[in-house]
Amino acid sequence: MPSFFRSLALHALLTGALVAQVTNAYPQPALARSQEYDSITGEPVAIVPSVEVDGDLYKRSNPLSIAQEPDRSYNCPATNNYGETSYTSGQLKAAFIRAAQYANDGQQIGDRNYPHTFGNGENLPFPCGRSTMEFPLDRDSPGSVYSGQSVRTLPDRIVFEFKDGKKDAKAKFCGHVVTGRRNIALDTVPVIEEAVVVKGGAKVLGQISSSAEAAKKKRIANAEAAFEAAVKAEFLIDDLGHADKGKGEQGSA
C-alpha cells in the first residue's frame, strides 16, 4: 500500500514538471513602456498583442506600443482610373496595426517590399516626424488587409511613423495618401476649393484647406502656384465643372 502512494506522488510531480516546461516554451506578451520619442508623444493608447488574430505567434525583438491610431474614416475621391472609395476607421486601424507589426518584426511583403520608407518628397499636411513609412490599402477589398499582391491598381496608402528604440518600439498613425502621377494627401480639415489637373488622361486632385495655420497656408500657396503653372503649360483644367480651359477652347475662339 505505501508503494502505491509513492507511485501516485511521483506521477503527480512528473506531470507538474511537464506542464511547466510546455508553458515556458511560448513567448510572453510584450509590455509597453512609457518612454517618449522625438515626435511620438503621449501615453500609448493600445498595446499590440503578441498573438495575431489567426493564432500565429509573433517573434519580436522589442515590445511594440501604439501612440496613435486612426480615429475616423477617410474618403478617396474618384479619378479617371479609379472610382471613389471609403475606408472606415476600423479598416484603417487593421492595416496600420499589421504594418506596424511588420515594421517591428523587420518583415516586408509584396514585390515592392511594404512597409517601406515614405520617401516621395511631398510635404504632408499632417505631422509625421522623420521616420515615416507607408503601407498599401486594399482598394479592391477595403475590409481586407493588404497581403502582398500587386499594387498596380492599389493607389491608396497609410503613412505612419515608426521608432525602433533599444528596448522597445512605438508606432503612430499619421494619415492617408493617394499615389499616382503625384501623391495626394487627404487633409483632415475642411476643404473649400478643389481642382483637377488633367494630363495624358490622368487626373490629379489638389485640395486647398481652410485652416489658418502657417504650415497649411504655405501648402495653399504651393497648390495655387501649381495650378497657375499648369495653366501656363496648357494643361486642361476643370475647376469643378465651372469652365474648361486649354487648347481646344482657344482653337474654337
Q: Quick: pLDDT tens for 77-120.
A: 777 777 888 999 999 999 999 999 999 999 999 999 999 998 76
Q: Is the pLDDT of residue 22 over 80?
A: no
| pTM of this structure | 0.52
Q: Which is it for strands 64-68 and 169-178: parallel, antiparallel or unpaired?
A: parallel
Residues 164-193, mean pLDDT to the nearest whole number: 66
Q: pLDDT band at 157, cuts 50/70/90?
A: very high
Ranges assigned E (strand) in 85-190: 85-87, 116-117, 132-136, 156-164, 169-178, 184-185
- The owner of cell 477652347 is 249
**What does DSSP assign to residue 216?**
H
The phi-psi region of residue 57 (left if phi > 0; otherwise alpha if psi is between -120 and 50; otherwise beta) is beta
Q: pLDDT band at 202, cuts 50/70/90?
A: very low
Which pLDDT belongs to residue 177? 85
- Max intra-chain CA distance, the chain: 115
What domains can be seen in the chain, in order of their start residue?
64-185 (3.10.450.30)
Which pLDDT belongs to residue 128? 86
Residues 133-156, mean pLDDT to the nearest whole number: 93
Residues 158-186, mean pLDDT to the nearest whole number: 80
Q: Quick one: what percent of the chain has pLDDT higher than 90? A: 28
CA distances from 32 to 25, 36, 43, 47, 168 (A): 22, 11, 10, 6, 7
Q: At residue 201, what are phi and psi to the nearest 5 degrees?
A: 80, 0
